[in-house]
Structure 1
Amino acid sequence: MLGEALALPAYSPHAVHAAERHWPQSNCSLDLWITYLNHLGLAPEALMGALVQLDYEGDQFTFCKFEPADLASMHGLVLRELAMFDRLQGHVAAQVARGHLVLVELDGFHMPDTRSTSYKREHSKTTIGIEFIDPDKQLLGYFHNAGRYVLQGEDYRALFAIDSVDRQATGALLPYTEVLQRKRSPLQGEALRTAARAALQQHLLLAPVVNPFLAYQQQYEADLARVIDRGNEYFHLYAFNHFRQFGAVFGLLDHYLRWLGDGALLPLAAHCDHIAAQAKLMQFRVVRAVARRKPDDSGRILSDVAERWDAVIGGLRQHLG
């Protein structure tokens, strides 16, 4: 059977995935963890302090992920790479049978929950968390982005290369795979928030020294000219790796700082929300510039964003010591 990806009704999306937010989704890694931890009844917010490390990398903004050390220390979950030496289907089935979540980088071309983006349109790498598998029925249950889904039939066979010859014979690479294991009970309540604040202090030590938005501003005019020249298809790639990455991260930081329950952090949370909104505005401005094939002055928005970044990171460093 082709093209079925049914969202399982037992799952209710986390508040940060609400449609009315500036950025309902961030990237496949952050969204997967938020979704899965929310499904377990755990607080993904505890891991969001790592997002202060976001930087401008010269050609993109950091593709932020949660830190495995935080996952282990706060939620008792250990993430390890799984060696791939045989058929992927067999490895996944063995680990799921042990009660583990298996995280695999697969091709969105074969994943019907990406119907509005890559499904049967383009090949794109994305990470899913597999919670159950039935090789006999060719049925797969998995977490991806902000939802919980099942797929089967032709899509299953394509993802697991059921009909292909042995990969060892062709030299094809097996996908990068990790396995999540629960080692102890998670922290709860104030103990969890205390651990999250301590982790934030450590992440601030690794936050950029140079304001990333001032560095981006120096490159922005040339970037905008290139996006306009290459057109709408390239715009989507550029926007995902720039506006969505820093916009979604600061949207999550807004939520995180409020979750910490410290009233002194609320003004900093408001700055984060403003940065998320400005990222959305920049995206709208650039798509309009692409349509008109004419540059605009949207780069001026980065001056405001840079000031807000200084206020957030400087304020956190001062408050947390």
Structure 2
Amino acid sequence: MTLCALPKIDYTAYQPHALHGAERAWAETNCYIDVWVEVLHAQGLNPLACLAMVFANDFDGDQWTFYKPPHEDLFALYGIDVQELNVWRGLLPNACEQLKRGRLVLTESDAFYLPDTSGTDYRTNHVKTTIAIQEIDLDAQRMGYFHNSSYHSLQGEDFIETFRVGKPYDPTFMPLFAEFVRLDRVQHRDETALATISLGLLHKHLARHPENNPIRAFEPVFLRDVEALKEEGLAAYHAYAFATLRQLGAGFSLGAQYLRWLEQQGQGDFSSAAQEFDLISETTKTLLLKTARAVMGKRTVDLAPLTTQLANHWDQGMVALDRCLHKVT
């Protein structure tokens, strides 16, 4: 028996959204927003409209904001309703019930059993990540799922381990967090209407942006952390880079793309702000590579000029964005 929330998808022919194109500086950002980009794209919905939240990103002491599209934004833009799934019977039976109702299931999962992470975590590292379950074939023990930058399929032992099929009750096992996605009220608005709603969301998220430049707060912490990473090694660096530099650079790369889309829809001249946020993305990419070389070679590298550039781009970008929005309103 095969259960699908959306019409059946052929994972071998699936074409990801342009935000996950090979030419992008950050082909993947974080697992949650990447899943939503493809979940929306697969329904013919434009994921660019839900990216306004990146402008509230902040440095939180040991990491940058792990940004996610708020559920209320998804409902306002697309009519998509997201609710927590109580996994009280186990992920497989609870997910099957939601798929029967035409609902996708987002769940935390162990990348160890996700074959699309081959070369990084598959059968190597137990790492939490978010997937969106679109299809379950109980007879074939196969699952179709959105993860990172595309749509994938797994089966056999990976299916058994992901859903703990046949495993006895274990009181020490903690079920992972899951959500179900109601699609019965989805609205396919035209781009102009979508941009009008999204512009209102941009105002909301900008009201939450850090009062002080978060990159200036990040700079001394980062420079100190790099010295410690030289002793901790490359594995520690990769974890650190994901929590900090990748979220910073990829977030503002999405922000620049979002502003250009708003401009294309006649919502204002966001070109100056978009350019500054693109420069944050590009400079962070350079910083990422230089930091990796410093850690691997345990060499002294002056990274402060790059962090100073990043801080200046944030200041200039936010000023330009505020100026444009005041013209719009």
Q: TM-score range by the shorter chain?
A: over 0.9
The question of 1:16 aligning with 2:15 is answered no
Q: What secondary structure is seen at the aligned counterpart in 2 of 1:159? A: helix
Work out the percentage of aligned pairs sharing the same amino acid. Answer: 35
Distance 1:39 1:292 in 2: 43
Q: What secondary structure is seen at the aligned counterpart in 2 of 1:239? A: helix
Paired residues, number: 314
Q: Do the aligned residues in 2 keep the contact of 1:7 with 1:147 (CA within 8 Å)?
A: no
Structure 1 residue aligned with 2:271: 266
- CA shift, 1:263, in A, is 5.5
Structure 2 residue aligned with 1:255: 257
Structure 2 residue aligned with 1:289: 294
- Deviations, residues 111-165 of structure 1 (Å, cap 9, x unaligned): 1010021100010000000011122221101100111111100100011111321
Let me know the Cα RMSD of the aligned residues.
Answer: 1.4
Greater mean alpha carbon deviation, residues 56-65 or residues 185-194? 185-194
Q: What secondary structure is seen at the aligned counterpart in 2 of 1:8? A: coil
Q: Which amino acid counterpart does residue 192 of structure 1 have in structure 2?
A: L
- Deviations, residues 256-301 of structure 1 (Å, cap 9, x unaligned): 0110024620111111111101111001101110121123111321
Q: What secondary structure is seen at the aligned counterpart in 2 of 1:128? A: strand
Q: Do the aligned residues in 2 keep the contact of 1:228 with 1:295 (CA within 8 Å)?
A: no
Q: Do the aligned residues in 2 keep the contact of 1:80 with 1:179 (CA within 8 Å)?
A: yes
Structure 2 residue aligned with 1:196: 198
1:211-230 equivalences under 5 Å are 211-230=213-232
Distance 1:190 1:66 in 2: 20
Structure 1 residue aligned with 2:77: 74
Q: What secondary structure is seen at the aligned counterpart in 2 of 1:163? A: coil
List runs of 5+ in structure 2 lacking aligned partners: 1-8
Q: What secondary structure is seen at the aligned counterpart in 2 of 1:264? A: coil
- CA shift, 1:314, in A, is 2.1
Distance 1:9 1:270 in 2: 36
Structure 1 residue aligned with 2:175: 174
- Deviations, residues 87-116 of structure 1 (Å, cap 9, x unaligned): 211001110111100001010001101002
Q: Do the aligned residues in 2 keep the contact of 1:7 with 1:150 (CA within 8 Å)?
A: no
1:1-321 equivalences under 5 Å are 8-167=11-170, 170-182=171-183, 183-261=185-263, 262=267, 264-321=269-326
Q: Identify if the C-alpha distance between structure 1 residues 184 and 114 changes in structure 2 by more than 3 Å, giving closer, same or farther.
A: closer
Distance 1:273 1:202 in 2: 22
Greater mean alpha carbon deviation, residues 19-28 or residues 99-108? 19-28
Distance 2:191 2:24 in 1: 26
Q: Identify if the C-alpha distance between structure 1 residues 124 and 232 changes in structure 2 by more than 3 Å, giving closer, same or farther.
A: same
- CA shift, 1:184, in A, is 4.2
Greater mean alpha carbon deviation, residues 7-16 or residues 42-51? 7-16
Q: Which amino acid counterpart does residue 286 of structure 1 have in structure 2?
A: T
- CA shift, 1:7, in A, is 7.3
Q: What secondary structure is seen at the aligned counterpart in 2 of 1:23? A: coil
Greater mean alpha carbon deviation, residues 6-15 or residues 133-142? 6-15
Q: Do the aligned residues in 2 keep the contact of 1:17 with 1:24 (CA within 8 Å)?
A: yes
- Deviations, residues 55-104 of structure 1 (Å, cap 9, x unaligned): 00110111111111110001000000011111211001110111100001
- CA shift, 1:10, in A, is 3.7
Q: Which amino acid counterpart does residue 43 of structure 2 have in structure 1?
A: L
TM-score normalised per structure 1: 0.95
Distance 1:7 1:114 in 2: 19
List runs of 5+ in structure 1 lacking aligned partners: 1-5
Q: Identify if the C-alpha distance between structure 1 residues 159 and 184 changes in structure 2 by more than 3 Å, giving closer, same or farther.
A: closer
Runs of 4+ in 1 over 4 A off after TM superposition: none
Q: Which amino acid counterpart does residue 198 of structure 2 have in structure 1?
A: A
Q: Do the aligned residues in 2 keep the contact of 1:224 with 1:295 (CA within 8 Å)?
A: no
Q: Which amino acid counterpart does residue 19 of structure 2 have in structure 1?
A: V
Distance 1:42 1:153 in 2: 32
Structure 2 residue aligned with 1:3: none
